[in-house]
A = this chain, B = another copy of it.
């Protein structure tokens, strides 16, 4: 099988390393952007060299971003080449379009590497779906934010110090927004829910809160109460309705999810006959993510790839609800009005007030956080 790689960063280098060990698979072209990095004959600066190469059976896309990734994926599918991608942003934005183009051209479109890195999450979601309706899923799907939360919990340090350490270790980007504000998890949540529920889930419909404003005071409060904070993607389906949300949650310290360390990920599903299934592993990194891509490639080559089909139409509802913890910085008073009917408890301290709510929807909490960005929230689960 002849394979082209779009990009040659961490992920495609991992793919390249792994494919070198599998004699049936040849990387015949690699698209790069920077002419100075052309270290192999098979490297090209021109996507047309790949699109027009009839000998190429499969294109791996890992250039990231929406454009030109979308155009390259569509052009590859329309040129009757299978596409395997690790690009969660472009899949979350254009999933339905890609699936339709693959179907029309009789080729496969595969997304294992978009969600959960090396964890065989998408494949197992699809396998479970052969028997059970997956009625809920959740997980820790971003290694950077889990590294930060774990380190804050174990080392008692504040957010900024831990973020800096994570950046120095290469676990966080110079601009960490996508990781700490939940954008990355939201893309993975949309992709996972789309596969699980058989319906393209609009990524923009997913309410999102991150961990940017968590403080040592929050972590101390959680510890005193036997709780651990994790950033979760959560999605539920009830009949022809679904809900999905990305936000920090508070777990009992003796749960499996609460003990996921460092930059590891965990993904969890529930199906009626199989019950709870949880999958744990490396959520990022060149070799684990490369491994996920190569698994997709092998599945395509050996006739083991599952088609993605969006045969259901589901309506967004408010199925995810819960009691919330909020830390409201001093000087912010509008919460008293916005949350008026749902405050269960308030604990005022010098610089802030901790509010615990009754059971509410994320939308209710967002009435406050949309207005006051610096409020940290977490849902009790």
Interface residues of A (CB under 8 A from B): 14, 17-18, 21-22, 118-120, 123-124, 127-128, 130-132, 254-256, 258-261, 264, 266, 271-282, 285, 287-288, 290-291, 294-295, 298, 303-304
Query: With A130-B298, A131-B18, A295-B130 as given contacts, are A280 and B277 in contact (CB-CB < 8 Å)?
Result: yes
**Besides the contacts A118-B273, A118-B277, A276-B282, what 11 more A-B pairs have beta carbons closer than 8 Å?**
A118-B274, A118-B275, A123-B127, A256-B260, A256-B261, A258-B259, A273-B291, A275-B287, A278-B279, A278-B281, A304-B304
CA distance A131 to B20 in the complex (A): 11
Q: Are A278 and B277 in contact (CB under 8 A)?
A: no
CA distance A62 to B334 in the complex (A): 63
CA distance A255 to B276 in the complex (A): 19
State how many angstroms separate the Cβ of A274 from the closest Cβ of chain B. 4
Partner of A281, one of B120, B259, B276, B298: B276
Q: Are A274 and B260 in contact (CB under 8 A)?
A: no
Q: Are B291 and A131 in contact (CB under 8 A)?
A: yes
Partner of A131, one of B123, B258, B261, B298: B298
Can you tell how many copies of this chain the complex includes?
A: 2
Instruction: List B contacts of A127 (CB < 8 A).
Output: 120, 123, 295
CA distance A295 to B127 in the complex (A): 8
Can you report 26 residue pairs joining A to B where beta carbons are below 8 Å apart? A18-B131, A118-B275, A120-B124, A124-B124, A130-B295, A131-B291, A131-B294, A131-B295, A131-B298, A132-B291, A256-B260, A256-B280, A259-B259, A272-B287, A273-B287, A273-B290, A274-B282, A274-B291, A275-B282, A275-B288, A276-B281, A277-B281, A278-B278, A278-B280, A279-B280, A303-B303
State how many angstroms separate the Cβ of A253 from the closest Cβ of chain B. 8
Instruction: List B contacts of A277 (CB < 8 A).
Output: 118-120, 279-281
Instruction: List B contacts of A123 (CB < 8 A).
Output: 127
Instruction: List B contacts of A119 (CB < 8 A).
Output: 277
| Residue in B closest to A294 when the chains form the complex, CB atoms | B131
Instruction: List B contacts of A17 (CB < 8 A).
Output: 273
CA distance A285 to B131 in the complex (A): 16
Instruction: List B contacts of A132 (CB < 8 A).
Output: 291
State how many angstroms separate the Cβ of A275 from the closest Cβ of chain B. 4
Instruction: List B contacts of A288 (CB < 8 A).
Output: 273-275
Instruction: List B contacts of A278 (CB < 8 A).
Output: 278-281
| Residue in B closest to A260 when the chains form the complex, CB atoms | B256
State how many angstroms separate the Cβ of A24 from the closest Cβ of chain B. 11
Instruction: List B contacts of A254 (CB < 8 A).
Output: 259, 261
State how many angstroms separate the Cβ of A119 from the closest Cβ of chain B. 7
State how many angstroms separate the Cβ of A362 from the closest Cβ of chain B. 26
Instruction: List B contacts of A130 (CB < 8 A).
Output: 295, 298
| Residue in B closest to A130 when the chains form the complex, CB atoms | B298
Q: Are B259 and A274 in contact (CB under 8 A)?
A: no
State how many angstroms separate the Cβ of A114 from the closest Cβ of chain B. 16
Closest CB pairs A-B (n = 10): A278-B280, A273-B287, A275-B282, A277-B281, A274-B291, A118-B274, A273-B291, A259-B259, A256-B259, A304-B304
Instruction: List B contacts of A285 (CB < 8 A).
Output: 275
Partner of A276, one of B124, B256, B280: B280
Q: A128, A264, A274: which has the most chain B beta carbons within 10 Å?
A: A274
Instruction: List B contacts of A303 (CB < 8 A).
Output: 303
Q: Are B18 and A273 in contact (CB under 8 A)?
A: yes
CA distance A265 to B158 in the complex (A): 35
Q: Are B280 and A280 in contact (CB under 8 A)?
A: yes
Instruction: List B contacts of A258 (CB < 8 A).
Output: 259
